[in-house]
Structure 1
Amino acid sequence: MSVARPTRQKLSILALSLSLSLGLAMSPAAMAQPQEQKQALAPPANATEAKLRELYNTEWDWRQKEFAREKIDGRWQSAAHMPSVTAQTWQRRGEYWADVLKQLDAIPAAQLSREEKINEAVFRTTVEGLHNDAVWKTYEAPFNSDTFFWAGLNPRQPYQSEADWRRFIGRLNDIPRYFGENIANMDAGLSRGWSVPRSSVEGRDNTIVPYTKTDAENPYLATFDRIPSSIPEPVRSQLREEGRKAVLENVVPAYANLLTFMRGQYLVRARTTTGASDLPNGRAFYKTQIREFVTRDMTAKQVHDIGLAEVARINAEMREVMARSGFKGSFPEFLQFLRTDPQFYAKTPKELLSYTAWISKKVDGELKNVVGTLPRYRFTILPVPDEVAPIYTSGRGGLDSCLFNTYDLPSRPLYNLPALVVHECAPGHSFQAALALEAPARPDFRQQTYFSGYGEGWGLYTEWLGTLMGIYETPYDDFGRLTFEMWRAARLVIDTGLHEYGWTRQQAIDYLAANTALAHHDIVTEIDRYIAWPGQATAYYLGYKTMRDLRSEAERELGPKFDQRPFHDTILNLGSVPLPVLESEVRTFVAERKAAARTAAEE
């Protein structure tokens, strides 16, 4: 989810604005493929393909400018100002995307090549999500339980050029306007009953507090003390002073005003219900969210029933692993043992981070047996920033870094870390993002498109793949993996339970606690995230199940000729695509391999 990371945000208005914020804190390499790695696209095969390319390239350039990106040295980078987020701007954007979809409908798909059909499907699904969220006015709730428009604006690592620092200062000076527009949108949402539920807002106001300080405890002020010495004097001192002036005169008052609004208005007026069905026309909205995240048409009942069946299957496997561990008590007693025994918990943040780094290097030694193409780009391992750690997930991975939460160490069991590392780092999200960066030539919009069903499905698939890589050394590690698999399967039941079937927050907490060894802190954090972000939780397991089913199909069809490396390359080389496209391309790959095998046998 770097902070996922533009690479880990969903294709909604909320996430698009969030990815803007998060993108500001990432290196230029995270934003676009380096110029020297770019390859030229083949020319369009006919007039229809030319028309499609003109449409998606024009929309992409328009979208970048709309969201405060500008092209610098051939790459899209964050501009020296924040984007407009007024209701009038969003209405105009919605109208634009409606017209784009109309033009797209007029393009005959039969006249497109295989690659352009993929481009068309990716582009259409993206624009449909953006348009739907503009229509639903989700910008009136521009944050969720752990990802906020006011966070992630500060760079994780110092910028290396004067130009980057000056654009950053420009954005800081524009924060008062940007926050003011978001506050106006939130106020409008509260007035019509469209808000983040109160249970997912409480305590989140505390993440604003550090930015209201006027001393070194303010993360922005600390950032300007880290300008690298590679920027010579007197420029370095000038940047520091200009930055401090922007923070003290513009940023601090804007955050203070936001804090007053959140505590005096939002927390008081936010809805006390938890389900999307309680929003205006909420059941119809929830249906669009399942479609957006899963990238296929499914009813809430279909999702719920799959979840119930998978929970039952995984529970049986968990009990087998418990027996293998030698534990003699009941299943609830085993969960309690895992949650409380000191052997399973790090004593210091450094111990936890060191353990994740060791797992990561162990994975490195196995990657050559898993995929055929290894990326050059490398990630680092960092702790989740202190200002968001109390309400943040256990870990998230993106192109530049994997974040692991070292807050409340008694809630961070070590037996969960092997699965978490392969999911977030390699061969999961960081690895996936690096391959996307170095991907074959494709349109710019494909480089930065992210579908949760594909991306999170791959992340969960890699957790299972760890069983073939020898990553889980003890029954407890394997139980941690199964806890994570159960967690995602249970999400199908919980998300639909909350948003379609009227479950209470406590009912959801109890269900996750009864079926996994997750710590109570993590369980509550996760449930509040599902409440605040309807549908997103359904993507993980359904994407994973699609990939597992495709692998089983490929193994049956190819028999002893099956090689997981080209199979995985096929998935990864596609980049993020809707699940129906993934199915079609993998089946084409299998058919081509079968044909090649037959030809070889006949020679």
Structure 2
Amino acid sequence: MNAWITRLTCAAGIAVCAIQAHASDDAGKRFHAIYTQEWAWRQTQFSGEDDENQQGEQADHLPQVDAATQAMRERHWADVLQQLDAISAKDLHGDDPINYAVYRNQIETLLAAQRNRMWQMPFNSDTAFWTNLGFTARKPMRDAASYRRYIQQLHDIPRYFDEQIVNMRAGLARGFSLPRVTLTGRDQSIADVIDAKGDGNLFYTPFKKMPDIIPAAEQTKLRIEARDAIQNAVIPAYVKLLGFIRNEYMKQARTTLAAEAMPDGKAFYQSQIREYTTLDMTPEAIHSLGLQEVAQIHSSMEQTIRDTGFKGSFAEFLHYLRTDPKFYPKSADELLKNASWLAKRVDGKIGQYIGRLPRQRFAIEPVPPDLAPFYTGGRGGPGLYMLNTYDLPSRPLYSLAALTLHESSPGHALQMPLAAEHQGLPDFRRYTYISAFGEGWALYSEKLGVEMEMYDTPYDRFGYLSYQMWRACRLVVDTGIHHLGWSREQAQTYMRENTALSEHEIETEVDRYIAWPGQALSYYLGELAIVDARAKAEKALGEKFDLRAFHDTVLSLGSVPLPVLQQRVDRFIAEDGVSPYADDGKGERE
């Protein structure tokens, strides 16, 4: 009797296991179908869109951005989210639970942007749809077909700009715009395109030196077509856009600063916090954390001042750093060469800290002059570290090591191509960027520079601490402006009193925070998540902890929400700190 009951129980258990396995396989297949179809659709929707980090193929057109298309996208992503709701993450196995968490966050973020009608405010004080087109113009082209597609894009600019103007008018009508104070001078990049005649126009750049594989007669024909497109399509579109920006947008833009001052502002700002930090923190909690971190970093800065031998106060030391010419490059070449030397020093050390390195190398180039006046001090990504050589008295050499670690290697120019080269990840993880993770890693890279002995003098170390302070101050300033009602002057004063940033950088950075709510929060919160995860792993693993394996684990994720990072590090600990590449024989270099 007992044997029969045992056999019956086992048979029932096998049946249950079979049903569960079938449900798991079915959930996995449905999930794969959802993200495969949506990702392919997403690529067609934004084909032709470009910025400095874009991975997509060149198109012969620019994206549709009209209101009807935006409404269609909102419906599509709402439907995708409903499909995801029908799948239980518990039924997924292997890497799919992480894939599901990452993908769901992507869809929720995209849908929130549509519901907030972010497309009605398609630029900020740092980045604009019309300047993004310049990155396409600066990219090398390989064959005649690429040039022909590019010329077709030029002919599509008037339609694209017209749709953007209609959208911006709709934003103005409902009080959803950039603050007027952040717009001063931002029209100049439009005027520069209009004023640059003939072959000196930015959009003619690819035609100045064309590949030899294109016959001379074909090159001549393409150049004639390009000049025609620039003269009869591009410049008239920019003239129309400039008139709108100067005569309507800059005059009608809101006079308030806070995101919470816009329609449904509190919910809007909270959604921006969620997008850029991937956390459900309140503005009050972030502001309080920022104040704590600022106080902590300040004490380290005071000690470093003593290490320099300087005898004055904190404020006097900041004045000394901002005004003594010895701390600033005398030429653009000096700045670029110093950055190149720092990056090369990292090359000699990086293998001690990261096991798998990307194949793609990066160049170091100056920020294009049409972008430089309002651009950040540097910008890094796949294949390129751009250094701002505009206004050299605002580019301190004591901060250059931290900036280079952040923007080049091991920061953006390492993390982003490494993700793209990771064949084991689905494309939606290889080619998308989550600010909290990406900026968090880049800021952590600055911190890693201490271990790598990249800060040679007390001034370099102060520059590093000032950069950490800068990002901690962002927690205070962003929430101060958008939640607590701080003025522009109040925010600038806070940055001036706590960081060694130059006056030019303080002005451009504060305007960036005003115009881009929530983005500034991603850096320090992301770094804290990585630092906390490392401390947890070191404590749990003890002598088993391997720093290269930890970094490989973090970087193998691509770009993920911070809770997913924390979950993956918990698994790293449970697996005794084994590198994710331990079994593939490629731990040193892929």
From 17, 33, 55, the equivalent of 1:54 is 33
Q: Which amino acid aligns with 1:539?
A: S
From 67, 74, 79, the equivalent of 1:87 is 67
| Equivalence for 1:413 | 396
Supply the RMSD in Å over aligned alpha carbons.
1.5
| Equivalence for 2:283 | 300
Q: Which amino acid aligns with 1:209?
A: A
From 133, 141, 146, the equivalent of 1:159 is 141
C-alpha separation in 2, matches of 1:200 and 1:217: 29
Q: Residue by residue, what CA displacement relative to the aligned partner does 1:552-578 show, whole Å, maximum 9, x if unpaired? A: 111111122221100000000110001
C-alpha separation in 1, matches of 2:95 and 2:530: 21
Deviation at 1:482, TM superposition (A): 0.6
| Equivalence for 1:40 | none
SS at match of 1:196: coil
| Equivalence for 1:178 | 160
State how 1:96-245 maps to structure 2 within 5 Å: 96-154=76-134, 155-213=137-195, 214-245=197-228
Deviation at 1:90, TM superposition (A): 0.5
Contact 1:175 1:254 in 2 (8 A): yes
C-alpha separation in 1, matches of 2:130 and 2:375: 15
Deviation at 1:388, TM superposition (A): 1.1
Deviation at 1:156, TM superposition (A): 2.6
Deviation at 1:499, TM superposition (A): 0.5
C-alpha separation in 1, matches of 2:213 and 2:369: 27
From 563, 567, 572, the equivalent of 2:555 is 572
Q: Which runs of 4+ in 1 moved over 4 A?
A: none
Deviation at 1:208, TM superposition (A): 0.8
Q: Which amino acid aligns with 1:62?
A: W
Contact 2:276 2:518 in 1 (8 A): yes
Q: Which amino acid aligns with 1:196?
A: L
Q: Which amino acid aligns with 1:356?
A: A
Deviation at 1:76, TM superposition (A): 4.7
Q: Which amino acid aligns with 1:369?
A: Q
C-alpha separation in 2, matches of 1:587 and 1:524: 41
Contact 1:300 1:500 in 2 (8 A): yes
SS at match of 1:465: helix
SS at match of 1:397: strand
| Equivalence for 2:265 | 282
| Equivalence for 1:484 | 467
C-alpha separation in 1, matches of 2:352 and 2:198: 51
C-alpha separation in 2, matches of 1:410 and 1:595: 47
State how 1:351-366 maps to structure 2 within 5 Å: 351-366=334-349
Q: Which amino acid aligns with 2:91?
A: Q
Q: Residue by residue, what CA displacement relative to the aligned partner does 1:366-416 show, whole Å, maximum 9, x if unpaired? A: 101110111111110010000010011000001021100000000000111
| Equivalence for 1:38 | none
Contact 2:141 2:147 in 1 (8 A): yes
| Equivalence for 1:502 | 485
Deviation at 1:595, TM superposition (A): 9.4
| Equivalence for 1:37 | none
Q: Residue by residue, what CA displacement relative to the aligned partner does 1:272-295 show, whole Å, maximum 9, x if unpaired? A: 111101100101100011011111
Q: Residue by residue, what CA displacement relative to the aligned partner does 1:292-343 show, whole Å, maximum 9, x if unpaired? A: 1111211111111110000000000000000001101110000011111111
C-alpha separation in 1, matches of 2:359 and 2:255: 48
SS at match of 2:57: strand
Q: Residue by residue, what CA displacement relative to the aligned partner does 1:491-538 show, whole Å, maximum 9, x if unpaired? A: 000000000110011100000110000001001100000001100111
C-alpha separation in 2, matches of 1:307 and 1:110: 36
SS at match of 1:153: helix
C-alpha separation in 2, matches of 1:178 and 1:188: 16
Contact 2:572 2:578 in 1 (8 A): no
Deviation at 1:233, TM superposition (A): 1.7
Q: Which amino acid aligns with 2:31?
A: L
| Equivalence for 2:9 | none
Deviation at 1:88, TM superposition (A): 1.2
Q: Which amino acid aligns with 2:178?
A: V
**Larger of the two Rg values belongs to structure:** 2
C-alpha separation in 1, matches of 2:577 and 2:192: 59
Contact 1:158 1:226 in 2 (8 A): no
| Equivalence for 1:271 | 254
| Equivalence for 1:380 | 363
Q: Which runs of 5+ in 1 are unaligned?
A: 1-43, 597-603
Deviation at 1:445, TM superposition (A): 1.4
Q: Cα–Cα, structure 1 residues 102 and 191, in superposed 2: closer, same or farther, change >3 Å?
A: same
Q: Which runs of 5+ in 2 are unaligned?
A: 1-22, 50-54, 580-590
How many residues align? The count is 549
